[in-house]
Structure 1
Amino acid sequence: MMAAYDSVVIGGGIGGLAAAYTLYKRGYRVLVIEAANRVGGVIHSVTTPEGFTLDCGPNTLGTKDVRLWQELIDLGLRERITPATRHGKRRFILINGKPVEIPSSPVSLVTTPLLSWQGKLRVLAEPFVKNEPASADESVAAFFNRRIGPEATARLLDPFVAGVYAGDPNQLSIAAVFPSLWEAAQRGGSIVRGMLKQPKQKPAVSEPKMRSRTFSFRAGLAEWPRALARALGAGNVWTGRKAVGLRNRGGYWEVTVDGAGEIETITARSVIIATPAYAAAELVESLDTGAASALRHIPYAPVAVVHLGFRRDQLSRELNGFGVLAPSSERRQFLGILWASSLFPHVAPADRALTITLAGGAIRPELAEQSEEALIESALRDNQQVLGISGQPLLTHVTRWRYAIPQYTFGHRERMAAIERLEQRWPTLQLTGSYRGGVGVPKTWATGVQAGERVAAALDAQGATTATFEQARG
């Protein structure tokens, strides 16, 4: 049997593209198969006739990873990068219906109205609180209630989890969501003492360092996946085609692809599955029922994204900050309202303002299922009440993500172990996605790179490429 490709990557989100590009740079012949008619997955940007730039999924990148930064430069995106304004450092939490700035220093922690004096003292007492033995599957809420107290958990941790994971802190596993904090508490008896006791490992090779940067691109985050697709070559990125079958035959992989009803089979020496977990489960079912079951048991939270555009004279005050998150205790209809044009002025015309209201999540998923009219009405009401915006919006845009963010719930580490066993059995088959290693875009990218590196190592061990085979055949 002759392999048509060194690797087929199933899924054209940022993780799949990162894996493909990692292999491509090493000289391997790679094909990306994406079911949607565009690459990027949840990274999706739209430019409106009114001059607004809408990021309908993630809207910022924050990283201090030199490798990621260098990749963007290699892709020719240096001049397209737009750094966030200094206002992005200011983040707010809704307390009693009013945005209150999150403390950014020990001094501001002491003076913040977010916590009572008792709540502040409880946070500062964390190093002295006895670490009671607990399961690795203790919930995020239970862990932080023990470590920093219920008030700080409800007012700081709860909205953070909602903003990043759209999750329920009572259902998320502390060891899966915050592994370094959980390990620190086990190591040192408290988070603070554990961090201080963490052994410093010197890298074998000195690596350059950079400070964390928050940025986007002139036409939105989707410029990045589109640049990756261009680098791979149009013929090596298939959109509008769905992988519907996978099997190993004689050491090679056969991927069955459905393109508008036309079925074809692609042969490859390796496969990387970079789809959401539920789709990956269908592909690996015939190879490992345990791994397929683990993948199916990873829940996803739905999120609705509502963009509202206003004239600047409709704002009663300047929105100088990243945005505001709503704790569950506030019982609001939104998870957070992001002040997009404060962070990136280029996303709106000079005399306009743009906000992004997020609704749904694991605690109140039904909110993401409302009609567009209901979502817009609710978002507008919250923008008016919380941000003091008056009048009707000039622009409205709704995007729904039924499967927005994977939830690292109880048993998540065991599910990941089942996937690792599958990969150990088949080294030329690797899985990647936001359900592994963190849900943020930079983490999903890094997990994709790692999958590409693991496949490259397996292919290197085989000692040949499809080009080698083709030359020998010719």
Structure 2
Amino acid sequence: MMAGYDSVVIGGGIAGLAAAYTLHKRGYRVLVIESTNRVGGVIQTITTPEGYILDCGPNTVGTGDARLWQELIDLGLRERITPAAPCSKRRFILINGTPVEIPTSPVGLITTRLLSWRGKLRVLAEPFINRGSTDPDESVAAFFTRRIGAEATAHLLDPFVAGVYAGDPQRLSTAAVFPSLWEAAQRSGSIVRGMLSKPKPKTQVSEPKMRSRTFTFRGGLAEWPRALAQALGAGNVWTERRVVKLQPRDSWWEVTIDGVNGPETLISRSLIIATPAFTAADLIESVDQRAAGALRGIPYAPVAVVHLGFRRDQISQELSGFGVLAPSSEQRQFLGILWTSSIFPHVAPHDHVLTTTLSGGAIRPELAERSDETLIEAAIRDHHQLLGIRGQPIFTHVTRWRTAIAQYTFGHRERIATLVQLEQRLPTIQFAGSYRDGVGVPKTWASGVQAGERIAAALAAHGTTAVSTETASG
């Protein structure tokens, strides 16, 4: 006899947990299987004996999605939400070794030191530039150079792509990374004209509009995946268990796990694979080789995260803002430095400052592979040179993610289309993760929710009711 589930979710990151919770709320019996010893994936929080709260992966969530906010309330996290400090709206880009604030208004664009007058005029000329290439795999660098000019692309777009994707603008697909901007340019021949003329979707029910807000939780972002796991129930979230084989059996899926006492087999009416793309590829190789090949073609960029703690009296200038990004033209050894305790003062002890330095990425992946000592030394040197910080940190911590962020390179949309074809052919298997529809935490969460909704629809189409405590024989 083998335990029967309505759905088995492989992967306990935010996408997998969101998918499982979506089904759980509908009364389906769901099991989450996670290969590591904790849930959350790249969302990882450490509280140190010194009193620092370190988010070792994503540091913030920024969203105006009413569904996400409602889920946090349902999970009992409302009182744990900690909004970002007002000063965090200020963001900086390194130009000639000096952090320069990013403009947030037309007047700011005119007066900013980030661009020359020639560069500013070139940005303002965007609505009058011919449509140009219609290739959806035009690189991000080529698309924006054509639309807003080489200077704005190098000084504004390049560090943004580094900060969000840890990516190389020369290798990322515009239509995959910036679909709405690419579609706007195709629709109207201009990003500005296209966005202004964008047709409003015709929906029967209008979704509530919310202002986007940036936040964390009192104990760090990991409170969210832990709350999801708790809501699912300890018996429905298995950690340190690895799925080694998937096999379709009539209207069921057979799931073989490398269990504590050897291989163990479960059966489920449906599957959600919410692992990184390369792991998903191995799992479905025997099911669909084309989809496996498409998943295997999605690369990931490595990122090293260095946390430094200083006494406040070591800071010669106020760090008032979110942080500073470094364009690749600056030839610095970091992608960005977040002024973490300026965003969230509670993450550092009283009279102390916490920063987060990110290095590596798709352009210089070798930087993420350096020794901890080398990474820390480089981060300290940059703090001294750029931020006016004196002396040595009183606290250091290094986290290394060798497969940190999915890269939406040329052919990405076709790879996802191949995956969708499998989902349409076999509706009881769905995929979720940061390699679909955006790498940010809210979009990864939404990917999981949508996978759960598609599975719920597939189960309903087959007249399936929740198995509850049912078991089924193989």
2:373 corresponds in structure 1 to 373
Instruction: Please give the residue correspondences for 1:354-373 in structure 2 after superposition, counting only pairs within 5 Å.
Output: 354-373=354-373
**Distance in 1 (alpha carbons) for counterparts of 2:363 and 2:72:** 36
Find out whether 1:281 has 2:273 as its counterpart: no
Instruction: Please give the residue correspondences for 1:3-14 in structure 2 after superposition, counting only pairs within 5 Å.
Output: 4-14=4-14
Find out whether 1:317 has 2:300 as its counterpart: no
Deviations 1:36-65 (A, max 9, x none): 000000000000000000000000000000
1:352 corresponds in structure 2 to 352
AA of the residue aligned to 1:15: A
1:251 corresponds in structure 2 to 251
Cα displacement (A) at 1:366: 0.2
Q: Mean Cα displacement is larger for which, 2-11 or 134-143?
A: 2-11
1:170 corresponds in structure 2 to 170
Find out whether 1:265 has 2:265 as its counterpart: yes
AA of the residue aligned to 2:335: L
Pair 1:149–1:390, CA change in 2 (3 A): same
**Distance in 2 (alpha carbons) for counterparts of 1:263 and 1:365:** 37
Flag as ranges the 4+ runs of structure 1 deviating above 6 A: none
CA contact (8 A) 1:3 1:252 kept: no
AA of the residue aligned to 1:130: N
AA of the residue aligned to 2:138: E
Cα displacement (A) at 1:208: 1.4
Cα displacement (A) at 1:197: 1.7
Pair 1:42–1:172, CA change in 2 (3 A): same
CA contact (8 A) 2:159 2:328 kept: yes
Deviations 1:53-94 (A, max 9, x none): 000000000000000000000000011000000011000000
Cα displacement (A) at 1:261: 6.0
Deviations 1:392-438 (A, max 9, x none): 10110000000000000000001001100111111000011100000
CA contact (8 A) 1:177 1:438 kept: yes
Cα displacement (A) at 1:207: 1.8
How many aligned residue pairs are there?
A: 473
AA of the residue aligned to 2:178: F
**Distance in 2 (alpha carbons) for counterparts of 1:308 and 1:107:** 35
**Distance in 2 (alpha carbons) for counterparts of 1:472 and 1:8:** 14
AA of the residue aligned to 2:220: G
**Distance in 2 (alpha carbons) for counterparts of 1:394 and 1:262:** 46
Cα displacement (A) at 1:29: 0.2
AA of the residue aligned to 1:134: T
Cα displacement (A) at 1:463: 1.7
1:307 corresponds in structure 2 to 307
Q: TM-score, normalised by structure 1?
A: 0.98
| Identity percentage of aligned residues | 75
SS in 1 for 2:301: strand
Cα displacement (A) at 1:3: 6.2
Pair 1:149–1:464, CA change in 2 (3 A): same
Instruction: Please give the residue correspondences for 1:225-236 in structure 2 after superposition, counting only pairs within 5 Å.
Output: 225-236=225-236
SS in 2 for 1:58: coil
Cα displacement (A) at 1:259: 2.9
AA of the residue aligned to 1:86: P
AA of the residue aligned to 2:248: N
CA contact (8 A) 2:17 2:228 kept: yes
1:80 corresponds in structure 2 to 80
Pair 1:336–1:126, CA change in 2 (3 A): same
Deviations 1:246-272 (A, max 9, x none): 110112001111134621011000000
SS in 1 for 2:4: coil
2:395 corresponds in structure 1 to 395
1:291 corresponds in structure 2 to 291
AA of the residue aligned to 1:192: V
Stretches of structure 2 lacking an aligned partner (at least 5 in a row): none
AA of the residue aligned to 2:350: A
SS in 1 for 2:27: coil
2:185 corresponds in structure 1 to 185
Q: TM-score, normalised by structure 2?
A: 0.98
AA of the residue aligned to 1:301: A
CA contact (8 A) 1:294 1:418 kept: yes
2:111 corresponds in structure 1 to 111
